[in-house]
Amino acid sequence: MESFMKKTTLRALLALLLTGTVFTLGMPIMGTAMLLPTIKGTTYYVDSVGGSDDNAGTSQSAAWKSLAKINATTFQPGDKILLKSGGTWNGSLWPKGSGVLGSPILLGKYGGDALPHIIGNGTDTVVPLGTDPLAGQKYNPVVFLGDQDYWVIENLEVSSTATDDTNNIGIFLLTTGKTGQTRGLTVRGCYVHDIAASQEKNVKITGGIIAAGSTCWVDGNENESFEKKVGFDGVLIEGNHVKNVAKEGIRTTGHGDGGPFRNKRPHRNVVIRANYIEEIFGDGIVLSEVGGGGVVEYNVIRHFANTDVGDFNYAGCWTWQSTDAVFRYNEVFDGEFGYDKDNAGGYGDGEAFDFDIGSVGITFEYNFSHHNDGGTLLTMDGHGNRTNTFRYNISYNDGIGKYQQTFHVNPDNVRVYNNTIVLGAGQHTALFDGGKVGYFKNNIIAAVEGASIDWAWSNAKEGHIEGNIFYPASVAEGFSEQGRKKNIVADPKLKDVAGFEALYQSGYEIAPPTGDNIDAFVAALRTRAAYFQITEGSAAIGAGADIYTLPDTDFFGTSLKDGAPDIGAHQLGTQADRGWTKKVSGFFQTAADKIVFWYDHNVKYRFFGSKYM
């Protein structure tokens, strides 16, 4: 955990540097003093009951009153716009101006714990975006920023009374590139709920919190100076509660010249962390068109894809046309979408996770998914997936919808290893859909308590499948005899699968993640997932195939530096379980004193030579 937290801290500091939310004169980061002058700015107060737009606005006793007054003001670096706690405003909010690095503009609250509530009514069409992929649509954001740098939006309640005949957005961040990269935007601690959108078109630029790029400005005209590779650099979306929105919970997107696949990966350093997202019409979180520095972590996504709208595709937590991103410590459950069009579903997605088209260098690790009708993982064949990794995740009762499977479209060349995948209590699914399984190692695949898992719905080719545990033997019936020799058929002796199901059925209340309770959230997540740990005597102990890209720890924070990997997401064994007797000067030596391996935790057990130490 310590090593993990160090890495997390570095990523978080980088994100905060880019958002400009925390740095003051002389604050050190990564060993370097950041000499950023702090601009004090002016604090403006807004009171929906006791204020007046004729006031100066610079004290609580002389507060402004309306959103219109805020919208008509251009704010300066270091300014603060504070809405009175518990106040209510109707309409759209678009404050003008930009902050600078070290001195962002803050939009927040004052005077109490209750959030100020902004209710969009759909009458203020702030953003009539007009070109593909926004295709003549009009968007009604409740809170909006356009081509504005260094803002912090925090502690607001945002909802809308507008109906689903328009495309509504709770908080909308837009960049067109006309001022270069849009930098340093933070949305945190907000409650965004009850946002409707048109169901007639598969428009996915609506919902809770959206950060989008477009060639079109708010007047509906094309931006002639738009640079196709210019987008956001530094977006932090943290600690928000998003509920009952259509169609997306939180997502990024962009606009390039690539035709239907518009991506030019224009965005950088997008961090989506510690959000609670529930009751979502479509997708939970989508990291789209982010070319580097993408992090999606510590989020809860509950009951996504919950509306039958026909042949549209939605999933829980996924990436599209992005490079070099990590998804970790997310819990995704109760996804409804499935292949059965007679039962709360549409097309063929609905999985918890997805390496979608154009995903390159993406890692999903330490995630927990369960009770998702559509399955655990979707991979889009032949789109850069040979660079992607799915490891040390735990899945329970995923793929339980009609005609569903755990892995939809086989992993192809995705590296799938050391995951624990369990089906329980009379459920039935298939492990794969069809195609070739390119790299599948050290996974536990177990059907317990009368459950059953077919090898595949269609003709799945074995590919590189080794070092896995399959239980019971019927799961591996699709294997060749040679394939069975590379794997193990045995009871993995999991801790208490029935106990987790009882916990889930009892109501399953989860303390929402925030930016301040990350350690507690991870500890609680591990406690919930601990029902799927292996126990003493498991055939998984010390039996995993050698993996050259192991992380530092397993799902539960146990070090993977000492000894052979166990099978699954839980490491219980030590080096003694595989015959390693000593470690000298970075080398391991076998009990037989005949073969020596060079040891490096990033390149496990690389063969070094056949000689004595």
Tokens for 355?
Answer: 């390496």
Tokens for 426?
Answer: 């009379």
E-only strand ranges, 448-520 = 452-456, 460-461, 465-466, 469-471, 488-489
Q: Which residues pair with 290 in a beta bridge?
A: 267
What is the separation of C-alpha 7 from the centre of its chain, rounded to a whole number of angstroms?
17
Least confident range of 180-184, 494-498, 502-506, 534-538: 180-184
Parallel/antiparallel/unpaired status of strands 207-213 and 167-175? parallel
Q: What is the mean pLDDT of residues 30-51?
A: 80
Q: List pLDDT tens digits, range 54-65.
A: 999 999 999 999
Q: What is the mean pLDDT of residues 30-57?
A: 84
**Which domains are delineated in the chain?**
42-418 (2.160.20), 579-613 (no CATH)
pLDDT surpassing 70 at residue 259: no
Task: Assess contact for 523 and 547: CB atoms under 8 A.
Answer: no
Task: Assess contact for 530 and 556: CB atoms under 8 A.
Answer: yes
Confidence of residue 383 (pLDDT cuts 50, 70, 90): low
Confidence of residue 419 (pLDDT cuts 50, 70, 90): very high
Least confident range of 148-152, 377-381, 493-497, 596-600: 596-600
Q: In what order do the strands lie in the sheet with 606-609?
A: 580-584, 587-590, 596-598, 606-609
Question: What pLDDT score was predicted for residue 140?
Answer: 86
Q: Which position has the higher pLDDT, 496 or 206? A: 496
Q: List pLDDT tens digits, range 279-333.
A: 999 999 999 999 999 999 999 999 998 887 666 788 999 998 899 999 999 999 9
Q: Which residues pair with 139 in a beta bridge?
A: 127, 167
Output phi, psi for 540, to 5 deg. -75, -20
Q: What is the rounded distance in angstroms from the CA atom of residue 233 to the CA atom of residue 425?
A: 47
Q: Comparing C-alpha atoms, which of 261, 254, 215, 220 is closest to residue 136?
A: 220
Q: List pLDDT tens digits, range 330-377.
A: 999 999 865 554 544 445 578 999 998 888 899 999 999 999 988 999
Highest mean pLDDT of the ranges 103-112, 319-328, 408-417 = 103-112
Question: What pLDDT score was predicted for residue 358?
Answer: 85
Confidence of residue 603 (pLDDT cuts 50, 70, 90): very low
Confidence of residue 255 (pLDDT cuts 50, 70, 90): low
Question: What pLDDT score was predicted for residue 339?
Answer: 52
**DSSP label of 5:** H
Q: Which residues pair with 446 in a beta bridge?
A: 422, 471
Q: List pLDDT tens digits, range 236-250.
A: 999 999 999 999 999
pTM of the model: 0.87
User: Mean pLDDT, the chain, as a whole number?
Assistant: 82
Q: Comparing C-alpha atoms, which of 283, 293, 125 is closest to residue 203?
A: 283
Task: Assess contact for 375 and 419: CB atoms under 8 A.
Answer: no
